[in-house]
Structures are given as C-alpha cells and as structure tokens.
A and B are shown apart, each in its own frame.
Chain A
Amino acid sequence: MNDTVLTVILFTIVVGITVAVTVRASRTTSGTGDYFAGGRSFSGVQNGLAIGGDYMSAASFLGISGAIALYGYDGFLYSIGFLVAWLVALLLVAEMLRNSGKFTMADQLAYRMKQRPVRTAAATSTVVVSIFYLLAQMVGAGLLVRLLLDIDADNTLGVSAVIAAVGALMVFYVTVGGMKGTTYVQIVKAVLLMTGSALIVVLVLVKFNFNISDMLGTAQSNSGKPLLDPGLQYGKTFTSKLDFLSLGLALVLGTAGLPHILVRFYTVPTARDARKSVLWAIGIIGVFYLFTLVLGFGAAALLNTGPDSGVATSKGNLASPLLAEEVGGGAGSTGGAILLALISAVAFATILAVVAGLVLTSSTSVAHDIYNSVLRKGTATEREEIRMTRFAAAGIGIVAIALAIPARNLNIAFLVALAFAVAASANLPSLVYNLFWRRFNTRGAVWSIYGGLTSALVLVFFSPVVSGKTGVDAEGNTITAALFPLGVDFHWFPLENPGLVSIPLGFFLGWLGTVTSKEQSAEDRYTELEVRALTGAGSEKASGH
C-alpha cells in the first residue's frame, strides 16, 4: 500500500536523524559531567529549545487538542495551566537549582540534609513520576502506529511490537547519547513539532479565511455542543467542579516538580543561562499552546467528533493527525495521506524525545542517588555510575511498557495530568521549602516526599479512573471508562485528579515533619545553600569544551 510505504519512509527518516544525532553526540561524551549534564555547556537558546522538546509531549500535541476537540473550553485549561506553571519554575526554582545542585533533584536536598534518607526519597519519587509520564507517551506511540498501519484496536501483537521498538530506541538514546545526545534529539524535535503544527494551523485557518470567530462558531455548530462555554466536561456537579479545580492546581504546580524538566537546568554553564533558557521555553511553549487552540477547535469544526468517530473512540488522542489528513485533502487523497504521515512522524519524534529525557532522568537518579550515594556511600567510579544508569534505563522501560497496556484507553493529557499531580505533591513542597526556609530539615523533606507521593498514588488508585467510571459506546451500551472492567468498583475517592488533597498534604507534612524535629546542621548549612543559590558562588562549572 502506498500510504503505508510513505509513512514508513517518514518514520525511518525521523528515527534516522535522531540516531545520527545521538551517535555524533556520543563522540564528545566522557565522564559523568558530560553523560548526566551534557557538560553544562549548552547555551540558553539551545536549552530553551530542548526544554520545549522535553516538555511538549504526546500529552500536549495529541492529548490537549483532542480534549479541546471533544470538550472545548474545558480542554483549554490544560494549555493554560501547562504554560502558567512555567512562572513557578522561572521565579522560584530554575536559577537557584542550577546553582545548588549537580545531577539530580535530590542533590539540592542532600546539600544540607542527611544524604541517605533524602536521596532515597527523592529518587523514589523521581522514578514514580517519570513512569507515570512514560506510560502516557507509550499509549500515544501505540495509538499513532495503530492509526497509520490500520491495526485493529484488538490486535495486541502489532501494538506490542511498536511499543517494544520504542523501548529499544529509548534504551539506545540513553545508553549511547547520554544527556548530550538526548538534548540534541529534543532540539530537533522542538523544531519539527513547531514547524509541523504551524503548517497545520495555517491550513486550518485558510479554510476559515483566517477568521477565528468563524472557526469557533463552526466548531460549535458542527459538534452540536456548547464547546465555547465552560463546564462541558466538568460543570455538571459540584464534585466534577472540584475535579476541575484539582486539575488546575496540579497543572500549575506540577511543572516545577518534574524531575526531567529540573535536570535540564543543569545543562547550562550559569544560572543566568538557566533563566534565559526558561524565557525561551516560555516563548516557544506559549506559542505552541496557542496552536493547540486552533488544532482542537479546528478538529471540532472540520471533523466528525460524534461517539463512533475516530476522534471520540481514541479519547481525542487522534484529533491532530486526523485533522492533518482532513486539511491535506481528506481521507483517501494523496495530500491527506502525506500530511497524515508527516504529522504522525512529528508526533512520533515528539514521543521519542520525551521518552529519552524521562528515562535518562530517572535512571540517572537511580545510579547517582541510590546506587552511588546510598549503596556505595559515594565510592562508585564514574564508569560504574554510568553503567548502572544503563541497567536502570532498561528496568524502568520495562515497567512503563507493562503499565501502558492497561492504560491504553485513557486520554494522554489526562494521564500526564496525574504525573503532574504526583510531582506537585511529592516534589514541589520539598524543593520550595529547601530553597526558602532555613528551618526545613530531613524529617520534613522525607515526610513531604513520601506523604505527597503516597497520598497521590492511593487517591488515584481509589478514584473512578481506576475502577467504577462508566461511559456509553456508539450503540448506547454502558461500557467501562476505567482501568478495571465493568462491574469491578472499589473507588471511594470522588475526584479523578488527586491534586486538591495531595498537594496541600505534601506541603503540610513538610511543615509538620520539620517543626517536630530539630536538625542544627541543616539550618547551619542553609547559609551556604542560600549564598550559593543566589550568587552562584561555588556552583558546578561547565566542562571545558
């Protein structure tokens, strides 16, 4: 089949570029400074693009536009929350973290606290958050290929083969390229994603003579739903309104607690470059989220989004690729096939870059925090640390793949929002307390990390997402909209996103743990942490190439 050949060629080109970039980067990688932090020698602009590439995941490209196509304004909250969240990173975290840390999120806690408990806690939450995020990307990869190769939803063999291939590639990037390779892959991806989505946005707007109001009106009339008004998805009951609030809170507070984003601040020479990279990232990401508005409402205006449509049955995840096919000339046309293949290849690159960043970050934390600092008490050589990273990468990949299979029926943006809730509950409190509160200590850090992490996970497990939520299929039958099949229902927590409870709890436990214990050394060392964080005195230097 011609379309399939074209698709395979484009996918091969994307994979080929990223492999070439990774191999090239590996030639200048030696030692942990290069491998874990890219030699700290990327410029602000390069890192800004890489942050964009790391952050704009399948959730942004596939999930948000799908959520907007199906639920309109309520889906738009994702775009807004994901962007505003960058101010937390810019104002409170980026520069101070660059100055006070080394390779991982745990470094700046370990700087003034008891190494082993805080490193173990921070590494645990790093791995858990990354796995949540990873499985969303895996779901996206499986869906894309299913669409392109026309595989049935029930054909698990085909989908599994694809997921295994993505897994192999991800281990390759991390093993061979380290942080340098991953950064270049993310830069390439950011450029591809921005160009590809700009093209679709222009083609959609051409259909409406660049009249956005007209597009919005058509979206409402074509879908037959009040897409432009708040509340289509979340406005029905008081509980669902609380869910909207919970989601909003998780989105805005999650970004600055995402480990794979935090480590990007270590790849630049100075705090000033870290700030500059966040400013660039805000610009790129902001423009992209404006694009999602056009992609989402454009899909609602131009595509069938009824209950048995491709958009609805994929929970919105395929809205962007199907929109590309439509503006290229529709299904069956050559233009449509080309654009569909092109956008799918871009989405695939998006997934690969994010997956590489996630796996590198979490396996670095396992090797640097758990293996070297906790188990080997700091005696492991750089070679041993890097070798350990490779084992960890494979292990984390396998867990993510295993979890992705039961989660394949959920919206990707929704899945990522759960990762944000976990990050905001487990990581953000200890980060902010550590940088701004002298009294903060080991018990506070450990309580807030484990408390935030456990409460978020437990609440998700007993939420309607895991069991009890139902939906209606095209024939009007009641079907399960949860992970467990129809009839299994053990949920007692009413909200789908745990943030509203678990984030305040993480902050509260951090405070409680701190005030119930006394740790003079942590308070003394705060002096050094603060001076270093604000001035850069004594911070890790860029390597000399």
Chain B
Amino acid sequence: MAQTGEPEDVAARHDPLYERMSESADFVELRRRHRRFVLPATIAFLTWYLLFVVMSNWASGFMKTQVVGNLNVALVFGLLQFVTTFLIAYLYSGYSIKRLDPLAGQLNDEYEKERRA
C-alpha cells in the first residue's frame, strides 16, 4: 500500500471557504433538517420491510389468512410495501422542496459569490 506523504497520493488541502461555510448557522440548520428526515425515514422503512420478510418466514399461519377473495394477508402486506415506498418518496420530495432546497440554494449562491470575489 502507498505511503502517506506522497503528494499525488493525498487529497489536496481544501479550500478554507468550505470551513467557514460548514460553521455558518445556515449550514448547521441544513444538516440538521436533512438528517432529521433521512435517518428516521431510513430506519422506519427498513424495519417495516424486514418485518415483512421475517413474518413471511416465521408467521406463515397468520400470513395465509384470507382477506378478500383469494387475497391473503401476505399479498396485502407485500402490496402495502409498494404503498409505503411511494408515500415516503412523495413525502421526501415535498420536504426537500420546502425545507432543504431553499437553504442549499442560498448557501450555494454564497459560495459562488465568494469564489468570484
């Protein structure tokens, strides 16, 4: 493996502008808003999906229960995974347009302005 210290091997020193941006109140807020949505949403959909897989394996008696006609709980549960996927995607879209994009856009503009200066 290559040794540390070879100039072409180490990522170049970064622009101090990024340091200032990362400490700005706007950026701290943007990061908070981003994580506040994506982390809980990820935990939620992964848990919900794994619940579906685990129940298919170890609760097959319940999953075989008929709901309507030949449709059983297992198939309904599977179709609900489609519904929740569409729903989370829709909610994230709305959330990011309202809560993330304006802040990100504003920070990006500031960056462009300072770069030109």
A, B in one complex: yes
Residues of chain A within 8 A of B49, CB atoms compared: 80-81, 84, 248, 252
Whether the pair A117, B82 counts as a contact (CB closer than 8 A) is: no
Which one of A114, A214, A228, A534 contacts B72 once the chains associate, using CB atoms below 8 Å?
A228
Q: Is A87 an interface residue (CB 8 A)?
A: yes
Output the least CB separation between B110 and chain A (Å): 8
Q: Is B98 an interface residue (CB 8 A)?
A: no
Alpha-carbon distance A194/B64, docked complex (angstroms): 31
Using CB atoms, name the residue of chain A closest to B80.
Answer: A80
Q: Is A231 an interface residue (CB 8 A)?
A: yes
Alpha-carbon distance A47/B108, docked complex (angstroms): 23
Which one of B11, B31, B60, B85 contacts A111 once the chains associate, using CB atoms below 8 Å?
B11
Whether the pair A91, B75 counts as a contact (CB closer than 8 A) is: no
Q: Is A521 an interface residue (CB 8 A)?
A: yes
Whether the pair A231, B93 counts as a contact (CB closer than 8 A) is: no
Output the least CB separation between A509 and chain B (Å): 16
Output the least CB separation between B76 and chain A (Å): 11
The range of chain A's interface size is 35 or more
Alpha-carbon distance A241/B63, docked complex (angstroms): 15
Alpha-carbon distance A213/B71, docked complex (angstroms): 6
Q: Is A527 an interface residue (CB 8 A)?
A: yes
Known interface pairs A282-B86, A528-B14, A537-B18; A90-B92 also in contact (CB < 8 Å): yes
Alpha-carbon distance A86/B54, docked complex (angstroms): 20
Alpha-carbon distance A86/B74, docked complex (angstroms): 22
Output the least CB separation between B15 and chain A (Å): 7
Output the least CB separation between B26 and chain A (Å): 9
Which one of B38, B70, B82, B85 contacts A217 once the chains associate, using CB atoms below 8 Å?
B70
Alpha-carbon distance A84/B85, docked complex (angstroms): 6
Whether the pair B107, A537 counts as a contact (CB closer than 8 A) is: yes
Whether the pair B19, A527 counts as a contact (CB closer than 8 A) is: yes
Residues of chain A within 8 A of B115, CB atoms compared: 538
Output the least CB separation between A96 and chain B (Å): 9
8 Å CB contacts to B: which residues of A505-545? 519, 521-522, 524-525, 527-528, 530-532, 534-538
8 Å CB contacts to A: which residues of B27-60? 27, 30-31, 34, 37-38, 41-42, 45-46, 49-50, 52-54, 56-58, 60
Q: Is A235 an interface residue (CB 8 A)?
A: yes
Alpha-carbon distance A74/B37, docked complex (angstroms): 32
Alpha-carbon distance A543/B80, docked complex (angstroms): 42
Residues of chain B within 8 A of A231, CB atoms compared: 56-57, 60
Residues of chain A within 8 A of B18, CB atoms compared: 527-528, 531-532, 537-538
Which one of A76, A217, A241 contacts B69 once the chains associate, using CB atoms below 8 Å?
A217
8 Å CB contacts to B: which residues of A266-300? 271-272, 275, 278-279, 282-283, 286, 289-290
Interface hub of A77, A230, A528, A532 (most chain B Cβ within 10 A): A230
Known interface pairs A535-B108, A537-B108; A83-B85 also in contact (CB < 8 Å): yes
Alpha-carbon distance A229/B78, docked complex (angstroms): 12
Whether the pair A521, B89 counts as a contact (CB closer than 8 A) is: no
Known interface pairs A534-B31, A536-B108; A84-B45 also in contact (CB < 8 Å): yes
Known interface pairs A91-B38, A527-B14, A532-B18; A252-B8 also in contact (CB < 8 Å): no
Whether the pair B85, A87 counts as a contact (CB closer than 8 A) is: yes
8 Å CB contacts to B: which residues of A289-318? 289-290
Known interface pairs A531-B27, A534-B104; A87-B89 also in contact (CB < 8 Å): yes
Using CB atoms, name the residue of chain A closest to B27.
Answer: A531
Alpha-carbon distance A399/B102, docked complex (angstroms): 48
Known interface pairs A248-B53, A530-B31; A83-B64 also in contact (CB < 8 Å): no
Residues of chain B within 8 A of A519, CB atoms compared: 4
Which one of A117, A286, A524 contacts B1 once the chains associate, using CB atoms below 8 Å?
A117
Residues of chain A within 8 A of B21, CB atoms compared: 531, 535, 537
B89-102 interface bits toward A, Cβ cutoff 8 Å, 1 = contact, 0 = none: 10011001000010
Residues of chain A within 8 A of B4, CB atoms compared: 114, 519
Whether the pair A244, B42 counts as a contact (CB closer than 8 A) is: no
Alpha-carbon distance A286/B79, docked complex (angstroms): 10
Whether the pair A286, B82 counts as a contact (CB closer than 8 A) is: yes
Whether the pair B74, A73 counts as a contact (CB closer than 8 A) is: yes
Residues of chain B within 8 A of A217, CB atoms compared: 69-70
Which one of A81, A216, A275 contacts B70 once the chains associate, using CB atoms below 8 Å?
A216
Alpha-carbon distance A450/B56, docked complex (angstroms): 33
8 Å CB contacts to B: which residues of A482-504? none
Output the least CB separation between A53 and chain B (Å): 19
8 Å CB contacts to B: which residues of A355-381? 377-378
Using CB atoms, name the residue of chain B closest to A537.
Answer: B111
Output the least CB separation between A90 and chain B (Å): 6
Residues of chain B within 8 A of A198, CB atoms compared: none
Residues of chain A within 8 A of B88, CB atoms compared: 87, 91
Known interface pairs A235-B57, A537-B107; A286-B50 also in contact (CB < 8 Å): no
Whether the pair B14, A524 counts as a contact (CB closer than 8 A) is: yes
Residues of chain A within 8 A of B68, CB atoms compared: 213
Q: Is A113 an interface residue (CB 8 A)?
A: yes
Q: Is A92 an interface residue (CB 8 A)?
A: yes
Alpha-carbon distance A198/B53, docked complex (angstroms): 28
Using CB atoms, name the residue of chain A closest to B31.
Answer: A534
Whether the pair A377, B8 counts as a contact (CB closer than 8 A) is: yes
Output the least CB separation between A431 and chain B (Å): 13
6 contacts between A and B (CB under 8 A): A73-B56, A87-B89, A91-B92, A231-B56, A528-B18, A537-B111
A-B pairs, top 7 by smallest CB distance, nearest first, are: A213-B69, A537-B111, A248-B53, A528-B18, A230-B56, A528-B14, A216-B70
| A→B interface (CB under 8 Å) | 73-74, 76-77, 79-81, 83-84, 86-88, 90-92, 110-117, 212-214, 216-217, 220, 228-231, 234-235, 241, 244-245, 248-249, 252, 271-272, 275, 278-279, 282-283, 286, 289-290, 377-378, 446, 519, 521-522, 524-525, 527-528, 530-532, 534-538
Q: A230-B64, A286-B85, A524-B14 are in contact. List 13 more A-B contacts (CB 8 A).
A: A79-B78, A81-B49, A91-B38, A114-B11, A117-B2, A213-B68, A216-B69, A244-B57, A252-B46, A289-B82, A519-B4, A534-B34, A535-B111
